[in-house]
């Protein structure tokens, strides 16, 4: 059980970036054929509870897991082209402070995805609008 858990965390770290449980399952299965997908999910959820793993939905309603790195980060997700950019945590610091000050609320924003339209898609859209007659 513990060895499987280590293999799951190691697979997530090895793959790097944001991974689905299925991707991790495919890798771990080569080493531990007896592992099933629900075991992978259970251990990833445990990793989240222990603070070793973060999860976020980068679109499409699919949970993606990431091995925790030293620096906390978030993401900007373009709903038009699907580009995912990294956002430094310090950008969210004023929001965190305001939530605490005005609402006495301690926000857990460990790994956040903000959806919108990226700069490239905006300029592409403006260029297209400029070409419209009238
Ligand atoms: Zn991330
Ligand atoms: Zn875009």
Instruction: Delineate the domains of the chain, giving CATH numbers in brackets.
Output: 1-68 (1.10.10.10), 70-134 (3.30.1490.190)
The bound ligand whose nearest atom lies closest to the alpha carbon of 71 is 1
Residue with tokens 């339209």: 117
DSSP reduced 3-state for 47 = helix
Residue with tokens 């082209």: 81
The bound ligand whose nearest atom lies closest to the alpha carbon of 78 is 2
17-53: per-residue pLDDT in tens?
899 999 999 999 999 999 999 999 999 999 988 888 9
The bound ligand whose nearest atom lies closest to the alpha carbon of 18 is 1
4-22: per-residue pLDDT in tens?
898 999 999 889 889 999 9
Cα separation values, 98 from 14, 93, 108, Å:
37, 9, 13
Model pTM score: 0.68
110-133: per-residue pLDDT in tens?
888 899 999 999 999 888 888 877
Cα–Cα distance for residue pair 63/69, rounded to 1 Å? 18
* Cα–ligand 1 centroid distance for 68 (angstroms): 9
């Amino acid at each position: 059980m513990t060895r499987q858990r280590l293999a799951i965390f190691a697979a997530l770290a090895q793959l790097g970036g944001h991974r689905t449980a299925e991707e991790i399952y495919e890798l771990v299965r080569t080493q531990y054929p007896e592992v099933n997908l629900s075991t992978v999910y259970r251990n990833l959820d445990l990793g989240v509870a222990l603070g070793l793993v973060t999860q976020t939905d980068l679109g499409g309603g699919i949970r993606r897991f990431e091995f925790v790195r030293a620096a906390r980060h978030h993401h900007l997700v373009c709903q038009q082209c699907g580009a995912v950019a990294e956002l430094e945590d310090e950008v969210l610091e004023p929001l965190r402070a305001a939530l605490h000050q005005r609402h006495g609320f301690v926000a857990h924003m460990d790994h956040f995805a903000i959806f919108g339209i990226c700069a490239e898609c905006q300029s592409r859209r403006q260029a297209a609008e400029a070409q419209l007659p009238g």
